Amino acid sequence: MGHTKLHIPGPVEVSEKTFRAFSTTMIGHRGQGFKDLYAKIQPKLQQLLSTKQLVFISTSSAWGVMEGAIRNLVSKKVLNCMCGAFSDKWLDVSKRCGKEAEPLQVAWGSSIRAAEVDKRLATGLFDALTLIHNETSTGVMSPLAEIAALKKKYPDVMFIVDSVSSMSAVPLNFDELGIDVLLAGTQKAFALPPGTGVFVCSPAALAKAATMKDRGYYFDFVEFQKNAEQNMTPSTPSIGHVFALESKLNEFFAEGLEARYARHRRTNQMTRDWAAKHGFNLFPEKGFESITLTCISNGARPGGRVVDVPKLQSRVKERGFLIDGGYGKIKGTTFRISNMGDETEATMGELFGVMDEAMGGL
Ligand SMILES: *Cc1c(COP(=O)(O)O)cnc(C)c1O
């Protein structure tokens, strides 16, 4: 069976090299070998996120940590900033955890803006907020630094930020941002297999978690901290992921973080250029387009080209590539192409060669 190369916005293509690291011979998670492995990658994770805090590894998809953050940190009420499928879902998840929760909803395709967040936090009703930095369903990147700057004004509010599809592709300086939780899953920009999350908590978040009843066990942030101090995880982790993460972090630093960020900007620009060349508009509000994936309007925005997206997808798939046909309520009226992970100008060029061909007569 021929492999269909993934250009959907997660999971993304995983390299042979990463798979080789993933399938390293098994070791025990309480043994010195594992502790040495975690100790070796900890400073790299800290450097990646510009933090002095310990970075945690969770064997779960991103949602595990997203739900965990709610259970660990919301006692009064959470403000869920919503601008697409993933951020909207966080409101539902907050409620399912039995928390008081309120939406700050903007139209899909728009970004969350600091002024709106400020207005809502000024009510004094909230002790936490959730924000998705890069809303993968709409291809919108919200201005994280501007929003995070509000933390100074509202020090008692826990700022919980999902960077699932941006972490490692754009600079994220956790300590400087001053936020409380920053999390990601490994199957997006890290280009690791799905099944593991990476996250970091502020000292204030850890202190608050320690006071919270019913925060559970599997995602207890205090347990993560205690174990990370010993270079361990609370329960048996997906050890293959930890080996793969070590290999991947080595690649990040061999390339250089700045070069990695610049590469993502360039490959993203290529995607935007491809869309423009074929007469498509982009879905996101101007100036807030993601740089890790592109959400192309296919009738969702006025003007611009409209094609039969399932047909485009199937033609592209026959040629060996998988692109996404739009998510949730904008399925079909948008489609998405990912440039996350290991993609280069050369590999994106191959995709666009195939896509040019597939567009013929559509
Ligand atoms: C993919 C994604 C998620 C969900 O991640 P899972 O690993 O499937 O739990 C959450 N937030 C964003 C922004 C995503 O892109």
Hey, which of 59, 70, 93, 162 would you mutate to test ligand 1's pocket, going by the most ligand atoms within 8 Å of its Cβ? 162
Mean pLDDT of 71-81: 98
Q: What is the mean pLDDT of the chain?
A: 98
Q: Which residue type, as a one-letter code, is found at position 242?
A: V
Q: Which residues contact 82 (CB under 8 A, 6 or more apart)?
A: 88, 90, 91, 103, 104, 105, 106
302 and 246 within one domain:
no
Question: Is ligand 1 within 6 A of the CB of residue 195?
Answer: no
Per-residue pLDDT at 244: 98
290 and 231 within one domain:
no
pTM: 0.98
Chosen domain end from 253, 287, 314: 253
- Provide the residue range defining the domain that includes 116: 16-253
> What separation in Å is there between the alpha carbon of 62 and the centre of ligand 1?
5
Hey, which of 12, 136, 141 would you mutate to test ligand 1's pocket, going by the most ligand atoms within 8 Å of its Cβ? 136
Position of tokens 């450097």?
A: 47
The pLDDT tens digits of the residues spanning 125-147 come to 999 999 999 999 999 999 999 99
CATH number (domain holding residue 20): 3.40.640.10
Per-residue pLDDT at 1: 61
Short-list 333, 61, 339, CA closest to 196? 61
- Domains in the chain, number: 2
Sign for the CA dihedral angle at 53, 58, 60, 65 comes to negative
272 and 193 within one domain:
no
91 and 44 within one domain:
yes
114 and 35 within one domain:
yes
pLDDT exceeds cutoff 70 at 219: yes
Ramachandran category for residue 328: left, alpha or beta (phi over 0 → left; psi -120 to 50 → alpha) = left
294 and 264 within one domain:
yes
Reading the block at residue 283, the tokens are: 């879905």
Chosen domain end from 232, 253, 274: 253
Short-list 16, 106, 4, CA closest to 324? 4
Question: Is ligand 1 within 6 A of the CB of residue 164?
Answer: yes
> What separation in Å is there between the alpha carbon of 355 and the centre of ligand 1?
26
Chosen domain end from 238, 253, 268: 253
144 and 30 within one domain:
yes
pLDDT exceeds cutoff 90 at 58: yes
- In three-state secondary structure terms, 108 is strand
87-107: b or e for each residue (b if 16 or more CB lie within 10 Å)?
bbbbbebbeebebebbbbbbe
Burial (Cβ within 10 Å: 0-12, 13-18, ≥19) of residue 31: exposed
Residues paired with residue 78 on neighbouring β-strands, in sequence order: 101, 128
Q: How many CB atoms lie within 10 A of CB 86?
A: 22
The pLDDT tens digits of the residues spanning 174-190 come to 999 999 999 999 999 99
Tell me the chain's radius of gyration from C-alpha atoms. Answer: 20
> What separation in Å is there between the alpha carbon of 194 and the centre of ligand 1?
10
229-251: b or e for each residue (b if 16 or more CB lie within 10 Å)?
eebbbbeebbbbbbbbbbbbbee
Q: How confident is the model at residue 101 (pLDDT cuts 50, 70, 90)?
A: very high
CATH number (domain holding residue 294): 3.90.1150.10
CA distance 1 to 296: 30
66 and 166 within one domain:
yes
274 vs 82, 190, 280, 345, 352, CA distance in Å?
29, 24, 9, 13, 7
Please name the residue ranges forming H helices in 49-133.
Answer: 62-73, 85-96, 114-121
Atom of ligand 1 at shortest distance to CA of 9? 15
Question: Is ligand 1 within 6 A of the CB of residue 136?
Answer: yes
74 and 189 within one domain:
yes
Percent of the chain with pLDDT over 70: 100
Q: What are phi and psi of 135, to 5 degrees?
A: -75, 105
313 and 172 within one domain:
no
Question: Is ligand 1 within 6 A of the CB of residue 86?
Answer: yes
Which run of H or E residues covers position 243? helix 239-255
277 and 190 within one domain:
no
How do 78-82 and 128-132 pair as beta strands? parallel
Per-residue pLDDT at 2: 84
Q: How confident is the model at residue 78 (pLDDT cuts 50, 70, 90)?
A: very high
Position of tokens 């690649």?
A: 251
User: Distance from first CA to last CA of the chain, Å, rounded?
Assistant: 28
CA distance 79 to 118: 11
Per-residue pLDDT at 315: 98
Residues paired with residue 134 on neighbouring β-strands, in sequence order: 141
Q: What is the DSSP letter of 151?
A: G
Atom of ligand 1 at shortest distance to CA of 185? 7
133 and 59 within one domain:
yes
